[in-house]
Amino acid sequence: MDKVVYIVHCVDTEGPLYESIEATFERINNIFGIWLEPSQNLLRKLQNREFPLSGQEEAIANLVSPERLNNKDNWDKIDNTLDEITSEQFRNEFLDSFKNGWIYNWFCLDHIGFSGENPRRRDLGFHKIFDHYENYIQLHNIKQDRIFWHFHPVAIKKDAHRSGNTYVSSNELFKILARKIIDRSWFPAVFRPGYHMERPDSNWFLEQWIPFDFGNQAKKGNFTNQPDIENRKLGDWRRAPNDWRIYHPDHDDYQKEGECRRWIARCLNMEARHSEITIDDIRDGFERVVSGKSTIISFTNHDFRDMKSEIIKIRNMIKIVSEEFSNVKFKYSNALEAMRGVIRNFDLERPEFSLNVEERNKISIINIKSKNEIFGSQPFFALKTRDNHY
């Protein structure tokens, strides 16, 4: 069988996002320690590098570029974008080697666990994002796109616009997955980490239940000029493979290759202030196929951004590289298909379980057994109590 480059577009699917100009300038202060009076006029000067900032002009222009601030702040605006980018015309503007159009992988987030502020006007609640995209896909009879899972740890302050970094500080992720199973008959096989961030606790959690992870942001060359990211507070992938190979992580270090069951794929950013995919990154992927290795090239952006222009930008790079490597086939793919295509010997079937309840000495004992091999060390058991607790 011919080796293939699988092109996987992962969308961190979080719903609408609003940011006031005051909040934009607050971010400048928080990241660079520079307080400036908010105004549209000054913002334009910062974007054009026309305001002196003691050598920080380029980095701040990167932070507040028009592309970074062009957010969709309500569902109508997002749906208008979806209508455009999911149209057959847009999907098929540049076909893959198999004459198929663009595919989207919607990694849906649940904004839950927040009891503090919500200045970005996030759509809070279980299933809000998932249901919107599931309904959109069904309404428009979309067959090629898939929904997967995205998760943001909750920050200590429990504000909806802040990032946490630990999975075990609360049980939100268990509630999310339990509700997906019970309310929506759904469980993810593929995951993308919020803020591109993993830690030992997330590594161990994912190892139990979720086989495929599109989180690796290892980058060749310059990483970023952003002070809040240089120390890798939001995602440390310095030691991970940077050549597009997928790998089993080590039990104690998710960046090292090891003996875990799960696989991690590399996924770089589209139009971003760090870890942005370049045409050379894409060339690296095609060169791997020339050396005889099927390869996943994956990249990510957000649904609240100007997705059309970001897709056109990366599609143009793929077009240039595919013409340079005319003997290499490339295939637009959903994330699950791509992982299975590269691994080849991942042959687990859909699990089937048996459940029975025994009464012993007035105690009910639940026995759950898998009828076939499962991915992890134990099934994920979800339950809902009579008083509606999950």
311 and 277 belong to one structural domain: yes
pLDDT at 232: 67
Model confidence pLDDT, tens digit, residues 311-350? 999 999 999 999 999 999 999 999 999 999 999 877 778 8
- From the list 263, 166, 246, 259, the residue with the least C-alpha distance to 206 is 263
- Residue 369, in any domain of the structure: no
Does this model's pTM top 0.75? My answer is yes
At which residue do the structure tokens 């009891």 appear? 115
- Residue 348, in any domain of the structure: no
110 and 210 belong to one structural domain: yes
80: number of Cβ within 10 Å: 12
Taking 70 as the threshold, does the pLDDT of residue 19 lie above it? Answer: yes
- Residue 385, in any domain of the structure: no
89 and 54 belong to one structural domain: no
What is the Cα–Cα distance from 117 to 102, expressed in whole angstroms? 37
- Residue 326, in any domain of the structure: yes
202 and 286 belong to one structural domain: yes
56 and 93 belong to one structural domain: no
The residue out of 343, 360, 375 marking a domain boundary is: 343
pLDDT at 168: 84
Domains held by the chain: number = 2
- Residue 163, in any domain of the structure: yes
CATH of the domain at 199: 3.20.20
105 and 162 belong to one structural domain: yes
pLDDT at 327: 96
- Residue 378, in any domain of the structure: no
54 and 146 belong to one structural domain: no
170 and 44 belong to one structural domain: no
The residue out of 308, 327, 343 marking a domain boundary is: 343
- Residue 184, in any domain of the structure: yes
Q: At what angle do helices 75-85 and 128-139 cross, to 10 degrees?
A: 40
Average pLDDT over residues 260-270: 98
Taking 60 as the threshold, does the pLDDT of residue 1 lie above it? Answer: no
First to last CA, the chain: 46
147 and 51 belong to one structural domain: no
194 and 59 belong to one structural domain: no
Q: How far is CA 214 from the centre of its chain?
A: 7
Domain of residue 45 covers 21-63
Which helix (H) or strand (E) element contains residue 335? helix 335-343
H helices of 252-299, where?
279-290
Average pLDDT, the chain: 95
58 and 10 belong to one structural domain: no
pLDDT at 234: 72
- Residue 70, in any domain of the structure: no
49 and 106 belong to one structural domain: no
DSSP structural state of residue 224: B
Model confidence pLDDT, tens digit, residues 190-217? 999 999 999 999 999 999 999 999 999 9
pLDDT category at 223 given cuts 50, 70, 90 is low
Average pLDDT over residues 351-365: 91
- From the list 314, 295, 294, 299, the residue with the least C-alpha distance to 215 is 299
Which burial class, exposed, middle or buried, applies to 263 when counting CB atoms under 10 A from its CB (0-12, 13-18, 19+)?
A: middle
Cβ neighbours for 316, distance < 8 A, ≥ 6 positions apart: none
pLDDT at 347: 74
At which residue do the structure tokens 């997955």 appear? 177
